[in-house]
Amino acid sequence: MLILQDLKTRQKTWVTPSKKQFQVKPGVVVMKFGEQLRSSIIREYQWYYIDYDDLKADLKNATGPFLNGNDGKQEWTEADETRFVGKLEAELEKVHTKQQVKAMEISRRIAVSEREVRDVVNRLNERGLNETGPTEEEFMLLEEDLSDIIADVHDLAKFVQLNYTGFYKIIKKHDKSTKWYLRPAFETRLKAKPFYKENYDASVVQLSKLYDLVRTRGNPVKGDSAAGGAQASFVRQTTKYWVHPDNITELKLIILKHLPVLVFNANKEFDPKDSAITSIYYDNPEKWDLYEGRLKKTEGAEAIRLRWYGGMETETIFVERKTHREDWTGESSVKARFSMKEKNVNAYMRGELLPPAIFEKARKEGKKSEKAIAEDERLASEIQYSCIKKGYKPVCRSFYHRTAFQLPADARVRISLDTELTMVREDNLDGRKRSGDNWRRMDIGIDYPFSQLPPEDVVRFPYAILEVKLQTQAGQEPPEWVRQLIASHLVEAVPKFSKFIHGTACLFPDRIKLLPFWMPQMDVDIRKPASHDFGIRRPGLSGTTTTSDDEDDEDDLDSYEEDRVAAASGPPAPSRPAGQSNGQSRDSRRDVEDQTRDLPAAVDEAFPIYDSDEEYDDDYELEEARRVGGWHYYHTLITTKGREFGHKALDLLKFVMPAPRSTQVGRSARQQMLFGDQAIQTKKFKAPKGKKIYVPVRVEPKVYFAAERTFLGWLEFSIYIGTIAVTLLNFGSHPTKTSFLVSGIFTLLAILSLIYSVVIYLYRSRAIRERRAAKYFDKWGPSVLCGALFIAVALNFGFEGRERQVW
């Protein structure tokens, strides 16, 4: 593992011993793929992995004439290309065959296990009064067998993902070193043998049903699969996480051992399009009221969206409104929705179809209570009024496949995993008609990855989104397995992540200037080393790794960011399944965010990791002034350059003036174990030029009262000091110049204290009103006050002693 920034020279690239430079962004975690491959090998598949080392060595065996004399590199000939392609075809055939055989084996094992489970459950349900039925040992054997199948699915997914990465990397290395471009032709061969396109969702659903039957000993929880979905409004405590594609399948297999996959229609065979969810988000494209309200989490901030489940042929459309409530209000954020027919959406959004007409049929049928219909009608009226009055229009679409885990009729723990998340523009800005007069564009459906769209119209999110939704009583802890899951290396916590906010910020770069706080993390590899023993384990067995020597080849160093961008144009994988390797080395992956905790001793502890929206940013101010133009721009330019010159002069002065230097303490044993000997990057994330990152700030009413109490405290001390000054001046037995001087010092101290308290109070009050991420602590004020008061008392004591001729 290497962090690409030299902390001594501040170079932006790391120079290898062979004088090669890797053009990778600072902070990106890189490692050798050959090392990763060897450390991830599973015993069952050890003879079926791509022979990456042999293919890489073959690229160095060119047989053509020397290019630059006897010491130069040999030319890559047609014979060399034929030899290499033959080996590559053999490796592809080997991997594809093993994947096909193993997938068929898993399917047969699932089918056999299903018959065995059904047989045991039927015996349990059909037993007579005097019959004992299946024993506990039978259920334990079935559970162990299913756990072994789950481990097989996990290992196969990891095998597929690792080999796909290996083929991609060796092709990239071939094209780079030989200048013979093989990638376009080889992509055709990959499509002919698409071992990487295996979708394990159907297997996950089957295993979930069987494991739930066995885990509950033939008595699964029954009830409405919607689990409260019939209610118009519901409240949940939701926490969101990012999941790297390598960990998606493993995460699903771990969760299904505790919660079954939520299936709304158990009699219908699994269809991938049933898990597709599409939402159209509305906003004012001129003011972006809803975007900024949701980003800043202001009280009453709303989000309006139209959602449907499945394909474009779905007739039922849900109109939803999310309302954010601050904790101090005693209320919780609420999502309310009602359904309507797709054919009526345009008329409703234009105000031509009024809410009473929408619910007229529901009133006649009598399937819902009059109270519920009235609530839906009121919600429909409020949404329609807001859209017409404030000019809300469709701006962004989100699409993803959702796998939900939940006990039927029990919403205490609900976990959903959204994969293939994609955001698409729906607006008619920039002179292009995307949705036109319709409420959604019709040139796309659920055909991920939407390759027919231009790049500026689509953003494919690189991670999956895990949402853990808990409905626990006050003071009740979530289940232990949930706590282990969210603390594991498989997930990266991203509080308050929003698909609407992320999609809008990415799709409208010229119109959105305030970015969410998680945007800088998009350039950081979120994969982490396993922090504790958690994951898929085969009963009684463990994975093995090989011990072959590692070749010291710097060309193997590839960044995740580079691969992610390049792979987007390669063969699409509908489900990028992969698991975290069981035998992965501890130092192979790092979380750069975690490494910022191990900062050098010279770094200021108050130094923020993000630049927030209230900080003065020269680039931002210049960009804004350039848009305005005129004298304002020249004034801002002069001010900015003057401030920059002042900062550089101050830095030079600090460098020249002698000052004590801190001694850097060596790393502890724990830090050495976690981070090794490599240099650790100190990094402050900066927003792009002309933009700012909004740091969420939680403001409650007691914060205002705290600021007032602090001001009154300062005011009280100012009055005390002023009283001391008045006493010395007016009530002395022998007024002298000395007593007048001392009382003047106390008076000046009282005035300065009062002015300081007023300025600080006004600054904090304004920062609280504007929800800034300001520094609300006072680092120097109390210390300076105490020091000045001590000096004043000492001077008074000294002058008074001299007047009394004590010394």
Tell me: the pLDDT tens digits for 518-562? 888 887 778 877 766 677 777 665 443 333 333 334 444 444 334
Active site residues: 499
With H, G, I as helix, E, B as strand and everything else as coil, classify residue 710.
helix
Tell me: the pLDDT tens digits for 621-660? 666 677 667 777 788 888 888 888 887 888 787 777 776 6
- Domains of the chain are 2-208+540-589 (no CATH), 259-478+490-523 (3.20.100.30), 701-803 (no CATH)
Rg (CA), the chain: 33
Q: Nearest 5 degrees, angle CA 534-CA 538-CA 540?
A: 110
Question: Confidence class of residue 282 from pLDDT cuts 50, 70 and 90?
Answer: very high
Q: Which two tokens stand for residue 39?
A: 């450390």
With H, G, I as helix, E, B as strand and everything else as coil, classify residue 302.
strand
Residue 79 burial class via C-beta count within 10 angstroms: exposed 0-12, middle 13-18, buried 19 and up? exposed
Question: Confidence class of residue 797 from pLDDT cuts 50, 70 and 90?
Answer: confident
Who wins on pLDDT, 498 or 599? 498
State the DSSP code for 666.
Answer: P
Residues forming a β-bridge with 416:
404, 467
Residues forming a β-bridge with 425:
396
In angstroms, the CA 33 to CA 39 distance is 10
Position 574 pLDDT exceeds 60: no
What's the mean pLDDT in 276-281?
93
What's the mean pLDDT in 333-354?
89
Beta carbons within 10 angstroms of residue 135's beta carbon: 10
Most confident of 155-164, 341-350, 400-409: 341-350
Residue 520 has a pLDDT of: 80
Residue 618 has a pLDDT of: 57
Taken as a whole, the chain contains a residue count of 807
Spatial CB neighbours of 106, under 8 Å, sequence gap ≥ 6: 149, 152, 153, 156, 203
**Residue in this structure with the two tokens 């600090």, named with its chain if needed:** 654
H-helix or E-strand containing 669?
Answer: helix 669-675
What's the mean pLDDT in 466-493?
81
Spatial CB neighbours of 153, under 8 Å, sequence gap ≥ 6: 106, 200, 203, 204, 207, 249, 253
155-166 burial code (b ≥16 CB/10 A, e <16): bbbbbbbbbbbb
What's the mean pLDDT in 708-725?
86
Helix H, strand E, coil C: the string for 395-436 is: EEEEEEEEEEEEECCEEEEEEEEEEEEEEEECCCCCCCCCCC
204-235 burial code (b ≥16 CB/10 A, e <16): bbbbbbbbbbbbeebeeeeeebebeeeebebe
Position 730 pLDDT exceeds 90: no
In one-letter notation, the amino acid at residue 712 is L
Residues forming a β-bridge with 304:
282, 321
Residue 78 has a pLDDT of: 86
Contact 446, 311 (CB under 8 A): yes
Q: Flag whether the pTM goes above 0.75.
A: no
Helix H, strand E, coil C: the string for 323-391 is: ECCCHHHCCCCEEEEEEEEHHHHHHHHHCCCCHHHHCHHHHHHCCCCHHHHHHHHHHHHHHHHHHHHHC
Q: What mean pLDDT, rounded, does the chain reach? A: 75
In angstroms, the CA 516 to CA 525 distance is 18
Q: Tell me which of 154-168, 182-196, 368-382, 426-440 is least confident.
A: 182-196
State the DSSP code for 545.
Answer: -
Position 131 pLDDT exceeds 90: no
Tell me: the pLDDT tens digits for 199-257? 777 788 888 888 888 888 777 766 554 444 444 444 457 789 999 888 888 888 888 88
With H, G, I as helix, E, B as strand and everything else as coil, classify residue 306.
strand
Residue 519 has a pLDDT of: 85
Contact 60, 80 (CB under 8 A): no
